[in-house]
Structure 1
């Protein structure tokens, strides 16, 4: 049971989370250490300034000058007791010259980042200066690094998943096409034989009724073979009357449906031309009608509504069956998904592919309510 959850997706996601978590932990510790080192450097810089103010000895003075001048990375702002800015270091001089409010905004940011160092200027008059400092460029870069890495890893995972999904979809398509064409090929041989036997039966007038019914079945098998042979190849679209096409398929299904089921076609337009592949389009309508019949279990009503719009045509197939839960609106089109005991779950999947890939339209569940019915919509663009 547990093995079902250990797939390549789970392993890939776990590795990504582990890498990101480890990086964030490491960078957080590193940034804290660098921040502490910078605080010590600023403290040393403040102490060096105190030595310069005291000027107690030449040795201390030289050392203090070196310490003060060697700070080229940590930004500093010096203010008096009233908050007036007296000096600044390691800030963008061009910004300072161009924007009079730049130093003030940086000072506010520094106050939020770190507490100031207080330096006594005049012990007699009790005058003090305040040194505020911010994070260096390298510290800011280190802090942003894990988020940049997170974005990169996320993009990498997305690309890998997309590539694997595309490969999987392409493989599935090849299987579908191969299966469909092999089915058409296998049906071809017995069909040829059946047609030959029909010709023999036609020679005897006593077999007239049998020949008529057998011819219908053979024609039906030929239509099914033609449909399967078109899967995987670009079908030739023809201009056909949608209303007549749907009426013909509805009449075919009506003769084979229970007497307690009512099938009705509604259309304001008597003729409505559209570019379709007749065998494949009929297959889609047949699948939708058969699904509706299965959902109603022998009694109910199926309404097929055809509407003409400026740029598209809609065909709604509504039944009064048991309905579909909203969570399954997309699942019903996935291969293998079926609520029927003997269903293969291929009909709606093939129907969606025919409409969306071959006719550049859409097939989706427009609405459904449990124990009240479902409406499937076909949208064909003009």
Structure 2
């Protein structure tokens, strides 16, 4: 599903690039042709304007028709000193609001096209100059590729968002279904084990064995309860976070190698927050086990809780091999793992529990290759 989503993403981007490139090429060619035609029209207009200086009535009528039919190309007529003599097809509303509008357009026209020189008299020789700009149609055609680019970009964003949402929803269904099925499968043999355990407790010589088995059964019950809560709306209760974390540290300390030192500090002895006890313990356990795996049997793990006015932070720091910067986000993706064993779901589930169920944050605060990593849990109070 993920590979298919990535493939579609690149296909959409490639298609969009091709569409934009072809459109820009086509529009540039089209605008050049239109601009050449407009230049010819201006040249014809200048010729007609010259003819108006003659006295032939037939020619004058034709010249007037040519001049009056130009309603799209903006033009400004100036004398030899650069003073505006006349103008056509400029925005009358802007002229009324801004007295310098015509002069501003003249500056623009001078940059866009060279002027047409129109000789008024031979002796003395007096010239006028016709400056012209691009018509509104030509401007719209030139802006069209950029408008299309925005439309295509919006379309791709919408499609990618829809694909991402669908992909995320499918993944959620898979994880929830897997978790609930695992809880269901564990429940059946667990009930049978509890029954045999009760029989074993009745044997005086097996009390110590039954006691140890009871701990493992309780542990399996806790795991089953955690899996059953995935996908359901968790019940958040006000819990003493310091005690919750200390209990999990004590649990992991008994199972950690002797060369691993676990330390714990808290800015206050008692800090309350709204959490789901079983799921929160699962997150702490996952992070501590992840730290143990990173150190390969020796080192130190330091857990630090800090109380703030509106939130609390829990930092879990190890002295392991560290995580490269490009992998800081990938480690939370389902299926990603640097270990030979495991499914790569621990950190993914931990992040989901903290961010979706507790409305908090779980991220890598810092990491340095060869020195260690710090994971931070951020929780609202």
Distance 1:21 1:278 in 2: 56
Q: Which residue of the partner structure matches residue 334 of structure 2?
A: 335
**Following TM superposition, by how much is the alpha carbon of 1:6 offset from its aligned partner in structure 2, in angstroms?**
9.2
Tell me, what secondary structure is at the counterpart of 2:82?
coil
Distance 2:357 2:249 in 1: 22
Written as runs of structure 1 = structure 2, the 5 A alignment for 1:126-275 is: 126-275=125-274
Q: Which residue of the partner structure matches residue 110 of structure 2?
A: 111
Kindly provide the CA deviation profile for residues 63-106 of structure 1, in whole angstroms up to 9, marking residues without a partner as x. 11100111111000000000000000001122223311100000
Q: Which residue of the partner structure matches residue 49 of structure 2?
A: 49
Q: Please report the RMSD computed on the Cα atoms of aligned residues, expressed in angstroms.
A: 1.3
Distance 2:288 2:7 in 1: 38
Distance 2:325 2:26 in 1: 45
Distance 1:11 1:154 in 2: 13
Distance 2:38 2:149 in 1: 27
Tell me, what secondary structure is at the counterpart of 1:292?
helix
Q: Does 1:8 align with 2:8?
A: yes
**Following TM superposition, by how much is the alpha carbon of 1:60 offset from its aligned partner in structure 2, in angstroms?**
1.2
Tell me, what secondary structure is at the counterpart of 1:153?
helix
> Deviating runs (4+, > 4 A) in structure 1?
3-6
Of 312-321 and 340-349, more deviation after overlay is shown by: 340-349
Q: What TM-score do the two structures reach when normalised by structure 1?
A: 0.97
**Following TM superposition, by how much is the alpha carbon of 1:5 offset from its aligned partner in structure 2, in angstroms?**
11
**Following TM superposition, by how much is the alpha carbon of 1:268 offset from its aligned partner in structure 2, in angstroms?**
2.5
Kindly provide the CA deviation profile for residues 238-277 of structure 1, in whole angstroms up to 9, marking residues without a partner as x. 1111111000000000000011111011013111111111
Tell me, what secondary structure is at the counterpart of 1:54?
coil
Of 158-167 and 4-13, more deviation after overlay is shown by: 4-13
Q: Which residue of the partner structure matches residue 20 of structure 2?
A: 20
Q: Which residue of the partner structure matches residue 71 of structure 2?
A: 72
Aligned residues: 379
Q: What TM-score do the two structures reach when normalised by structure 2?
A: 0.98
Tell me, what secondary structure is at the counterpart of 2:257?
coil
Gaps of 5+ in 2: none
Tell me, what secondary structure is at the counterpart of 1:316?
strand
Tell me, what secondary structure is at the counterpart of 2:58?
helix
Kindly provide the CA deviation profile for residues 179-225 of structure 1, in whole angstroms up to 9, marking residues without a partner as x. 00000000000000000000111111111011001000000000000
**Following TM superposition, by how much is the alpha carbon of 1:12 offset from its aligned partner in structure 2, in angstroms?**
1.8
**Following TM superposition, by how much is the alpha carbon of 1:7 offset from its aligned partner in structure 2, in angstroms?**
2.7
**Following TM superposition, by how much is the alpha carbon of 1:350 offset from its aligned partner in structure 2, in angstroms?**
0.3
Kindly provide the CA deviation profile for residues 36-79 of structure 1, in whole angstroms up to 9, marking residues without a partner as x. 00000000000001111123x22211111100111111000000
